[in-house]
Amino acid sequence: MKAFDIQKSPIQGAFLIEASAGTGKTFSLIRIVLRLLMETDIRIDQILVVTYTKAAASELKSRLQSLLTEIKEQIDGTPPGQPVHFEDATLNELFMTWDPSLVVKKLSNALDGIDDCCIS
């Protein structure tokens, strides 16, 4: 089995992330969803994320919404002509690979449709 790399692992098809508590599953799942939204034509209402408990599903959705909001606010708060910088190094590296002309639109669409994302 190949090691999962949030930035480089393919994001096509179905995923199964299996790991012990506290190992970063939620972190990884959120970034997979983020990559799907930013790197493909997939909309948030076309994504299905399944976890084991209602509490985990609620936390996952909340953290996804928080991350999308954080990214949008950081972009909006960065002066024109200046590079966008995030505290999260992984997020910085991912952001550099995305089409800047589409990021804000895709973020806005995802935030507008967050309730249509099926996380259960």
Q: What would the pLDDT profile of 3-12 be if each residue is shown by its tens digit?
A: 777 788 778 7
Q: Which two tokens stand for residue 7?
A: 């930035």
Cβ atoms of 29 and 68 within 8 Å: the answer is no
Of the candidates 32, 16, 48, the residue with the CA atom closest to the CA atom of residue 94: 32
Global model pTM greater than 0.85: yes
For residue 13, list its beta bridge partners: none
Phi then psi dihedrals of residue 49, to 5 deg: -125, 125
pLDDT of the residue at 2:
67
